[in-house]
């Protein structure tokens, strides 16, 4: 499977080796999320500075935000978000996840007394 990149992104994290977020990361995120991203990034950076074993967590924070940026940049994301906020039903899982109905039936049979 080929990784999906947000527009203007050249790698999965698009982050310099220093661990600092690239300006491209903020450019890809909706402005309403800049503060949330920066707060999470700074908290992870401070933790990593004090306890170097937390450096991996910083990389995970940056990777998760990259994945969010890819999602937010996807065509139709804002319309789908508005539909959910308005209470409009989405596409049933059975239509997009192969074997979903069988999975749920199997799960229900295991939970039955």
pLDDT in tens, 50-94: 998 888 999 999 999 999 998 888 888 888 888 888 888 777 888
pLDDT-derived band at 20, boundaries 50, 70, 90: low
- Measure the CA–CA gap between 85 and 52, rounded to whole angstroms: 40
Interval 5-17 mean pLDDT: 46
Q: Write down the pTM of the prediction.
A: 0.58
Q: Where are the domains of the chain?
A: 23-111
Are 66 and 8 within 8 A, CB to CB? no
Measured between alpha carbons, how far is residue 17 from residues 4, 7, 59 in Å?
A: 21, 21, 10
Interval 17-46 mean pLDDT: 85
Q: Choose between 13 and 48: higher pLDDT.
A: 48
- Measure the CA–CA gap between 105 and 110, rounded to whole angstroms: 9
């Amino acid at each position: 499977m080929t990784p999906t990149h947000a527009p203007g992104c050249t790698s999965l994290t698009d982050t310099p080796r220093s661990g600092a977020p690239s300006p491209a990361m903020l450019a890809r995120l909706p402005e309403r999320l800049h503060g949330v991203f920066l707060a999470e990034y700074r908290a992870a950076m401070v933790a990593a500075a004090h306890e170097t074993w937390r450096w991996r967590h910083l990389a995970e924070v940056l990777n998760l935000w990259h994945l969010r940026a890819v999602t937010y940049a996807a065509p139709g994301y804002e319309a789908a978000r508005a539909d959910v906020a308005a209470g409009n039903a989405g596409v049933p899982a059975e239509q997009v996840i192969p074997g979903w109905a069988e999975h749920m039936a199997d799960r229900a049979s295991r939970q039955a007394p």
